[in-house]
Chain A
Amino acid sequence: DTAVSQTPKYLVTQMGNDKSIKCEQNLGHDTMYWYKQDSKKFLKIMFSYNNKELIINETVPNRFSPKSPDKAHLNLHINSLELGDSAVYFCASRASGGEGETQYFGPGTRLLVL
């Protein structure tokens, strides 16, 4: 039983294309996150949703648009892909109360823009 899953695992595409990455969690959590890990392994928060409401929107190009159709899903759509978007994108989820400090991460989506 995968707690946080992402699709696709690998994504190779051309500059200028539009692509989406999907994330699903079956933990019953109501807060979800997108992080970007660059080529130097540095991880940085991009977005967060709590119960379908956007609560974190860091300084990210507006070509990136998150969407949360329900609290178990958080998708990331990227328009007009650029070379610099190549990275690993991680989804994570967290419960609101109790053990809510811990974020559980998905396996990542490795995006390569050519």
Chain B
Amino acid sequence: AQSVTQLGSHVSVSEGALVLLRCNYSSSVPPYLFWYVQYPNQGLQLLLKYTTGATLVKGINGFEAEFKKSETSFHLTKPSAHMSDAAEYFCAVSDDTGRRALTFGSGTRLQVQP
């Protein structure tokens, strides 16, 4: 069974500061990994994903994440936070069957202080 752990249910940063949201996963096979963002009262929007190939993946809105197999991690970063980045962020792993159901972490709420 796969699982995802997001350390820190709330993260607060100042505008312009580095954003680091942590995600660790467990999977018996090479995983497909995703970061989704959820703004208040909205659906989930894909930020970025790792499937194969380059382990540093870039996404929308200046976010990027690095797949580290040895650490079973897929942390999300952004060099400089904007007020508009305030949202809930979810890390997810896709199952290793053709069904591809997503197993989500518990989410991290990012607050950006002016």
Contact = CB atoms under 8 A, between A and B. Distances in A.
Contacts of B103: 45
A102 B43 contact: no
Contact of A101 (B38, B41, B44, B100): B100
Contact of B106 (A4, A42, A55, A56): A42
Interface string A7-51: 000000000000000000000000101010000111111001010
A43 B58 CA distance: 24
A102 B46 contact: yes
Contact of B51 (A48, A94, A101): A101
A108 B42 contact: yes
A14 to B, nearest CB: 23
Interface residues of A, number: 27
B45 to A, nearest CB: 7
A94 B101 CA distance: 10
Chain B interface extent, by class = 20 to 34
Contacts of A44: 104
Contacts of B106: 40-42
B73 interface: no
Chain A contact residues: helix, strand, loop or mixed: strand
B102 interface: yes
B107 A42 contact: yes
B45 A105 contact: yes
A78 B6 CA distance: 31
A106 interface: yes
Interface of A: 4, 31, 33, 35, 40-45, 48, 50, 55-56, 90, 92, 94, 100-108, 110
10 contacts: A35-B102, A42-B107, A56-B99, A56-B101, A92-B44, A94-B100, A101-B34, A102-B46, A103-B46, A107-B42
- 6 smallest CB-CB distances across A and B, nearest first, come from A43-B104, A105-B44, A45-B101, A105-B43, A107-B43, A41-B107
Given A101-B51, A105-B45, 7 more contacts: A40-B106, A43-B44, A56-B99, A103-B100, A103-B102, A108-B43, A110-B41
